Structure 1
Amino acid sequence: MPDGSLPARPLRDADALAGAGLVPPGDLPALRAVAARYAVSVTPAMAALIDPADPADPIAAQYLPHPSELDATAQELADPIADGPHTPVKGVVHRYPDRALLKPLLACPVYCRFCFRREQVGPAGGVLDEAELEAALDWFAANPGVREAILTGGDPLMLSPRRLAHIVRRLSAMPHIGIIRLHSRVPVADPGRVTAALAEALDTETALFLCLHANHAREFTDAARAALRRLSRAGVALLGQSVLLRGVNDTAEAMEALLRTMLANRVKPYYLHQLDRAPGTARFEVPIAEGRALLASLRGRLTGLAWPTYALDLPEGQGKAPIGPDFAERAEGGWRVRGPLGGEHFQADAAP
C-alpha cells in the first residue's frame, strides 16, 4: 500500500482500488467495466503486498483488474475444463472414475484475474443450501467407485468451521472415501481465517490433504507462514499448486523461489498448471515450449521434492495431461537419457 496502511476489509470494486492507491484514477472507466463483468476482491493481506509504483508487480498482476479482460479470443472458453457436462447433481463434478469435486460455494477471498471459473465465481457466493448440500453428499454416498472427494469451488475454507466440519464428517463416514482433498487460496490470501476452529474442523482419521494455491514467493507472508504452520500442526498434509503465468512466475528465478518457499513451509509442490484459456486471460499465457524449457532448467538445481507435475487440463473434460520436459528418448536397443547435471547416458534394454 502506498502509505503502508492496510484496508480494513477486502477491496471489492474499481473505485475502492483507486481509493487505496492501487490503480490510477484515470483507469477507472475501463476498470469499472471489467468489474461489472468479473468479480473483484483484494484482501488486506494481498493489498499490503502490491507496489502500485511497479507496473510489473507480480501480486498486482494476479489480483487487480485489467482492461484486456474484456478482450476474449476465439480460443478461449467460458467453461474451459467442462464442469457443466460432468455435473450429475448441483455442486458435484465427476470426470474421473475414482474421484469427484464437491463445490459447496463459489465465493473466494480474492478473485484471480486468470481464474478458469471466472464466469461462475463471485461475491454472491453460489452457496449450496442445506438441501442441495445434502443431495451432493448423498451422491458421494451412493457412488462407491468414488474414492476421493475434492472440495473446491470457490474456496472451501470460506465456509464456517461448523459447516466445513459437517462436510468432513459426512465424507469421512463413507467407507469408500479414502481421501479428502481441499483446494484453497485462504492460507496466503486471507490467513486470518485459519483459526484454531477451522483447523479443528479438518480433524479426521481419513487421509486429508490441503492443496494450497500460490503463484509467487512473496505471497508467503509471516501471517501466511503462521497459518500453514497451524494447519501442519493439526495434521493436515499440505500440497501446492500453481499456474504458470506471464509476468508472475515465468522466469527460472521466480519459479525456483516459489518452489523453495513452498517446501520451506512444508508444502509439497504438486501441480504446475498450464493456463486454462478462460475469457480475457490471454495476457497471462506462457507457451508450453517455454514452460517445458523453464522446468528443464530447474532440474538438478532443485531437490526432487520441489518438482511439480506440469499439466494441461484438456477441454471437454478430458482430464489433466502431463506436459513436462522429457529427459529420455527411445534409441535402437535402448534409451538415450540426458542428465540434469550435464552429459548423456545410453541405457541398453535389459537382456531377455
Structure 2
Amino acid sequence: MARTLRSADDLIAAGLAEEAARPALEAVAARYAIALTPAMAALAAREPAVARQYLPDAAELRTAPHELDDPTADAPFTPVPGVVHRYPDRALLKPLLACPVYCRFCFRREHVGPDGGLLDEAALERALGWFAASPGVREAILTGGDPLILSPRRLAHILSRLAALPHIEVLRIHTRVPVADPARVTPALLEALALDKPLFLCVHANHAGEFTPEAAAALRALHGAGAVLLGQSVLLRGVNDTPEALEALLRAMLRHRVKPYYLHALDPAPGTARFAVPDAEGLALLEALRGRLSGTALPHFVRERPLGGGKRPVGFDMPVDGAR
C-alpha cells in the first residue's frame, strides 16, 4: 500500500531524487518537514511544476536578509494559543499545525510538522471560549496546518461548537486536502461539514495539474455537500508564473466548481527566495489575462503587509515590490 513520503530515503526510493542529492535532502529534512502523499508523489513524478512545490532543495537552508520566521506576524495577534485575531470581524483558529503535504514555500514552515501544534483538550476549550466571548467576530476561519486531516469526529465537534455561537455567521476552512490527499474526502468527513450556517472551503492549488480525476471527485463531493468552494494560490517562480500556466490554473479551478479567490504574493519565509516573483510581474501577468478570462476566473492579487498589517491588493495603498 502506498504511503506518504517523509524522508530522503523515501524520495530516493520513489525515484523523485538522485542518491547524490542525499546530503542536501537530509540537511533540509533536519530543519523542515517533508511530506508527499501518494497522490502528490505520483503527480510530482510526471509534472515538474508540482515536484518543485514539494521536493526539498538545498536553497532552503539559505535565509535572505528580508526573510522572516513569522512573515505574517501571527504572534502579536494571538490572544490565546491557536487563535489569531488580526481583523475586527473574523479570526483564525489553528487546531493543529500538521499537513498532508509540506510546501517548500510555506509561510509557517518554522512551525508546521507532523508532530507539532495539535491543540489539546484544554487549549481547544480555551480557544473556543475566546470565540464565544468575542461577539464582534462574525467569521471563524479554520487553518493551520490543514484542518481536514483532523478526525471527522474532532472536526465536527469544533465546527458545531463554532456554528452554535449566535454571532458566528460564516465558517471557513483553508485546506490542501481535496487536491493533495483526495482520499480523505470520505462520507464521514462530508458529514462533519454538514452545518446550518454557510461554510466556505478555500482550496489551495497552484498548478492546473493538481486537478486530477481523484481531486475532481473530491471537489464534486464537497460541493454536493453544500460547501462553497473558493480557490487560493501562491504566485510561484517556476510553477505558475507565465500567462499560460496561470490561465490554465484559473480555468481548471472554474471547471471544478472552485471560484478563484486569492492569488498570494509569496510571503518571505526563510529559504523561499527561489519561488519569489516581483509584484510588478504578477500585476502584468493578471493584466495579460484580463479579457482572455471572465471576471469569475480572476482572483484578488494580494500581499501581506509588514508587521501583521493584513492582506492588501497589490498596488493598492502600498508600494509595488519590484525587487523580490
**Aligned twin of 2:81:** 90
User: Counterparts of 1:194 and 1:209 in 2: how far apart (Å)?
Assistant: 16
**Aligned twin of 1:17:** 11
**Aligned twin of 1:45:** 39
What is the DSSP-based 3-state SS (H/G/I as helix, E as strand, rest coil) of the residue aligned with 2:220?
helix
* Counterpart amino acid of residue 300 in structure 1: G
Please state how far the C-alpha of 1:205 moved relative to its aligned partner.
Answer: 1.1
* Counterpart amino acid of residue 271 in structure 2: G
For each residue in 1:21-62, what CA deviation from the matched residue of structure 2 results, as whole angstroms up to 9, or x when unmatched?
Answer: 10111010011000110000000000111237x7xx101100
Please state how far the C-alpha of 1:324 moved relative to its aligned partner.
Answer: 5.7
The number of residues matched between the two structures is 317
User: Counterparts of 2:244 and 2:43 in 1: how far apart (Å)?
Assistant: 19
Q: Of the candidates 246, 250, 253, which is equivalent to residue 255 of structure 1?
A: 246
What is the DSSP-based 3-state SS (H/G/I as helix, E as strand, rest coil) of the residue aligned with 1:128?
coil
Larger RCO of the pair (alpha carbons < 8 Å, separation 6+): 2
Q: Of the candidates 154, 174, 180, which is equivalent to residue 189 of structure 1?
A: 180
User: Counterparts of 2:222 and 2:276 in 1: how far apart (Å)?
Assistant: 32
**Aligned twin of 2:200:** 209
Q: Of the candidates 257, 270, 275, which is equivalent to residue 261 of structure 2?
A: 270
User: Counterparts of 1:208 and 1:103 in 2: how far apart (Å)?
Assistant: 17
Q: Of the candidates 158, 162, 165, which is equivalent to residue 153 of structure 2?
A: 162
User: Counterparts of 1:136 and 1:317 in 2: how far apart (Å)?
Assistant: 20
Length-normalised TM-score, structure 2:
0.96
Aligned positions of 1:86-165 closer than 5 A: 86-165=77-156
1:222 paired to 2:213: yes
User: Counterparts of 1:125 and 1:142 in 2: how far apart (Å)?
Assistant: 27
Please state how far the C-alpha of 1:315 moved relative to its aligned partner.
Answer: 2.2
Runs of at least 5 residues in structure 1 that lack an aligned partner in the other structure: 1-6, 326-352
What is the DSSP-based 3-state SS (H/G/I as helix, E as strand, rest coil) of the residue aligned with 1:255?
helix
User: Counterparts of 1:284 and 1:35 in 2: how far apart (Å)?
Assistant: 19
**Aligned twin of 2:295:** 304
What is the DSSP-based 3-state SS (H/G/I as helix, E as strand, rest coil) of the residue aligned with 1:94?
strand
For each residue in 1:133-174, what CA deviation from the matched residue of structure 2 results, as whole angstroms up to 9, or x when unmatched?
Answer: 111001000000011000000000010000000111101110
* Counterpart amino acid of residue 322 in structure 1: P
For each residue in 1:152-204, what CA deviation from the matched residue of structure 2 results, as whole angstroms up to 9, or x when unmatched?
Answer: 00000010000000111101110000110000000000000000110110111
User: Counterparts of 1:30 and 1:168 in 2: how far apart (Å)?
Assistant: 41
Length-normalised TM-score, structure 1:
0.89
Identity of counterpart residues, as a percentage? Answer: 69
